[in-house]
Structure 1
Amino acid sequence: MRFEESGIEGLNAELNRLDFCMESEGFVRAGQWDYERVTYDRKFDMVEGRYYLRVFGYAIEGDVGTRHAVIKLMTPLLGKYYYPHGVEYGEGEHFPAQLLQSCESVLKKVKEKVATLEV
């Protein structure tokens, strides 16, 4: 599921500050990067299953590997984890209302924080 109206897509921020901001809202980047792209994930474990809220970004300036980059954020996605295949983001997935509310709340906080960092 895509969160088209999150307001995050298109925001730009310096990588180190963005990492701090995203971590403060429960997102993890860990090893999910290459020299031009980053991926932040927040895991939600629920009775209905495990879900991941994912925010992608790409470097518009600098290099992620050197930790000196400006990142442009893209549209967040919500997916459900299926063992052993991984996360599915298909439109046919069912997402609990409580999960959608939590994701929207988290994305609103992220938007407010990243907007203050915008380059």
Structure 2
Amino acid sequence: MKFENSGIESIKVDLNNLDEVMDQNGMVRAGQWDYERVTYDHKFQIKEGTYYLRVQGYAIEGDVGAHDAVIQLMQPILGKHYYPHGVEYGEDEYFPEHLVKQCKQILEKINKELAIFAE
């Protein structure tokens, strides 16, 4: 599921500020990066299954590995995890309304906090 018009997809921000805001909002980057891309996940384990809110971005300047980059964020997505195959984001998936609402709240908070640092 794509979160359209979240505002996040228009943000360009320094990686260090991005890491801080995402961490404060429960979004984990961990090992999900390379020198040009980053991925932040928030894992939800609810009765309907395991879901991931994902925000991805790519470096428009600098190097992610050196912690010196400006990141262009992309449209946030929500997916359901199926063991052992992975996460599915398709429109045919069922996404509980309470989960979608919670994800939208998280994204709104992130958007507001990143607006301070956005380039």
Length-normalised TM-score, structure 1: 0.98
- 1:5 deviates by 1.5
- 1:51 deviates by 0.2
- Kindly report structure 1 stretches of 4+ aligned residues shifted beyond 6 Å: none
Deviations 1:4-63 (A, max 9, x none): 121100201100110000000000000000110000000111000000000000001000
Query: What's the RMSD between the two structures over aligned residues?
Result: 0.5
Q: Which residue identity does 2:118 align to in structure 1?
A: E
Percent identity over paired residues: 61
Report what 1:81 is aligned to: 81
Alignment of 1:32-111 (within 5 A): 32-111=32-111
Return 5+ residue gaps in structure 2 as ranges: none
Tell me how far apart the structure 2 counterparts of residues 44 and 109 of structure 1 sit (CA, whole Å). Answer: 17
Q: SS where residue 66 of structure 1 aligns? A: coil
Report what 1:2 is aligned to: 2
Length-normalised TM-score, structure 2: 0.98
Return 5+ residue gaps in structure 1 as ranges: none
Tell me how far apart the structure 2 counterparts of residues 99 and 55 of structure 1 sit (CA, whole Å). Answer: 16
Q: Say whether residues 1:113 and 2:106 are aligned partners.
A: no
Q: Which residue identity does 1:29 align to in structure 2?
A: R
Tell me how far apart the structure 1 counterparts of residues 10 and 79 of structure 2 sit (CA, whole Å). Answer: 21
Deviations 1:88-111 (A, max 9, x none): 001100100000000000000000
Tell me how far apart the structure 2 counterparts of residues 78 and 93 of structure 1 sit (CA, whole Å). Answer: 10
Report what 2:13 is aligned to: 13
Q: Which residue identity does 2:105 align to in structure 1?
A: S
Q: SS where residue 65 of structure 1 aligns? A: coil
Report what 2:28 is aligned to: 28
